[in-house]
Amino acid sequence: MHPVTLTVNGARHELELEPRDLLVHVLREQLSLTGTNIGCDTSSCGACTVLLDGQSVKSCTILGVQADGAAITTIEGLATGGELHPVQQAFHDHHALQCGYCTPGMVMAAVSLIENGEAGDRDSIRSGLEGNLCRCTGYHNIVEAIAEVAGATS
Amino acid sequence: MIPASFDYEVAESVEHALALLGADPDAKVLAGGHSLVPALKLRVSRPSKLVDIGRLSDLAYVRDAGSQLAIGALTRHAAVQGDPLLQEHCPIVSSTAGKVGDPQVRHRGTIGGSLAHGDPASDLPAVILALDAELVIVGAGGERTVAAADFFTGVFQTAVGPGELLTEIRIPKLGDATGWSYLKYHRRAQDWATVGVAAIVHRDNGTATSASVALTNMGGTTLRAASVEAAVAAGSSPAEAAAHAAEGAEPASDTAASAEFRAHLARVLTERALMEALA
């Protein structure tokens, strides 16, 4: 077992992990943060996307020990003081979800895209979401929601 | 999916990493983990130990080295994609890094990890081969420099031996007279390349005087399209030269494409890449 310190949604956790424990399992099973979904489990679908030191990553493809010392933000960490994060609110306003399974990962990927300045137009948003699959194929409204928050010009 | 058990050590320095690797011939290097962790989860890779070099931040850099640029092996794809020196002097590398996987993969995956993994379907090996890059490998016996042509030795096999570490990639600066293109065909956005083509073309008044062309996923390793290069040097048009693209290649047939379709893609993409590099 390896000692690992993670700061998740602002809260510091000191954990003892097996090296093979995947970050997504640590979040869901040890910290009970089940908002992060496991979809494909093969780094394809992006349902497990979280922010690691501010950058979107697929938590099914990162060992918990690799994240030692990092700050993690999950979908549970976006809303503040009972107010939805602007991306969450825009997903609500634009009906940017159908079954909802991909939504936590879509929202986290969108937050990263917007913060990196990579959501300036709808083409950039679409290519920036290529790591996130929506099997309801509801991409149109997802792109519209992100475009509104990002102030996309086209 | 959960990997089989393994031991885990964090390398504090290159020397420490080499000592850890030297002590266990079955150990594997973990960098960004975006080739290795999926392989661990599928249990096609079952190393006894992972040596995590992910915290060696002094291996993450792009530096001006005179006629070359030096890229630290731990530079992540997103950093390569956005690097101003690469964008100015060798944009085929930054552009192709931006075509690897998807944003989440590019935030974690590293150029050194991608090359050392030796996957014939990944994009950067063809670019590195077309550029005649040099790769710096360190081991217990010191440092050696390997030409890209000698680096990729088989499917998932490279010149990086047990107990060794790829630390740096050196690429030439391309002048204004040099055009470039990397094109790939894939069925879905984030799929591996069914076939890819990297072209570096030296131009004179809109005509190609010579070209370096390397292919992705047309055999067990990335490979040079030598017949295309010879045809360009002999004055053939892009269409004439590209007709030779699959000569000598032995592409696989799999669920993504038959060998015949891969050969067709190589010819079509080579013509387009030569045209784009000349434009």
Domain boundary among A37, A57, A77: A77
Nearest to B156 by CA among B39, B74, B78: B39
Nearest to A65 by CA among A106, A16, A112, A105: A16
The CATH number assigned to the domain with range B57-171 reads 3.30.465.10
Query: Which residues are paired to B142 by β-bridges?
Result: B139
| Chain B residues touching A24 at Cβ < 8 A | none
Q: Where in chain B is the domain with CATH 3.30.390.50?
A: 178-278
B123, two tokens: 């994009």
Min Cα–Cα distance to chain A from B151, Å = 27
**Is the domain covering B178-278 a CATH 3.30.390.50 domain?**
yes
- CA dist., res. B233 & res. B201, Å (int): 10
CB contact under 8 A, B33 and A127: no
- A42 with A70, same domain? yes
Residue span(s) of chain B under CATH 3.30.43.10 come to 7-52
Is residue A67 domain-shared with residue A10, that is, in the same domain?
yes
Domain B7-52 belongs in CATH node 3.30.43.10? yes
Output the CA–CA distances (angstroms, integers) from residue A21 to A83, B13, B149, B233, in the order listed. Answer: 33, 24, 38, 54
Q: Is the pLDDT assigned to residue B189 strictly greater than 90?
A: no
Instruction: For residue B203, give the DSSP letter.
Output: E
For residues B132-146, average pLDDT: 97
Residue A3, classed as helix, strand or coil, is strand
A69 & A33 share domain: yes
Please report residues of B whose CB lies closer than 8 A to that of A43: 34, 37-38, 101, 105
Give this complex's ipTM. 0.97
Reduce the DSSP state of residue B30 to 3 states and report it: strand
Residue A8 and residue A73 in one domain: yes
Which residue(s) pair with A56 in the sheet? Answer: A51
What share of chain B has pLDDT > 70, as a percent?
100
Confidence category of residue B206, pLDDT binned at 50, 70, 90: confident
pLDDT tens for B5-56 read 999 999 999 999 999 999 999 999 999 999 999 999 999 999 999 999 999 9
Contact status of B19 with chain A (Cβ, < 8 Å): no
Q: Which of A56, A77, A98 is the endpoint of a domain?
A: A77
CATH number at residue A127: 1.10.150.120
Q: What is the CATH number of the domain that holds A18?
A: 3.10.20.30
**Residue closest to A113 by CA, chosen among A82, A93, A81, A142:** A142
Indicate yes or no: CB of A66 within 8 angstroms of CB of B7.
Answer: no
Mean pLDDT, residues B72-76 taken together: 98
| Cβ within 8 Å, pair B41-A41 | yes
Last residue of a domain, one of A49, A77, A105: A77
Name the residue among B10, B2, B13 with its Cα closest to residue B27: B10
Q: Where are the alpha helices (DSSP H) in chain B?
A: 14-22, 36-41, 77-82, 84-89, 91-97, 103-108, 111-117, 124-130, 148-151, 226-233, 238-242, 259-278
Same domain, A90 and A71: no
d(CA B201, CA B269): 15
Say what the pLDDT of residue A31 is.
98
- pLDDT beyond 90 at B190: no
Quote the domain boundaries for residue A46.
2-77
Q: Mean pLDDT of all residues in chain B?
A: 96
Q: Structurally, how many domains does chain A consist of?
A: 2
pLDDT for position B188 = 83
pLDDT of residue B267: 98
pLDDT higher than 90, residue B191:
no
Q: Following CA atoms B146, B149, B151, B156 in sequence, which dihedral angle do they give, to the nearest 10 degrees?
A: 170
**pLDDT tens per residue across span B160-176:** 999 999 999 999 999 88
Specify the length of chain B in residues: 279
Within 10 angstroms of residue A141's Cβ, the number of other Cβ atoms is 17
Please check the confidence at residue A10 and state whether its pLDDT lies above 90. Answer: yes
Specify the domain boundaries for CATH 3.30.465.10 within chain B: 57-171
One domain, residues A19 and A52: yes
* Residues of chain B positioned with their CB less than 8 A from the CB of A131: 101-105, 190
Note whether B261 contacts A: Cβ–Cβ < 8 A.
Answer: no
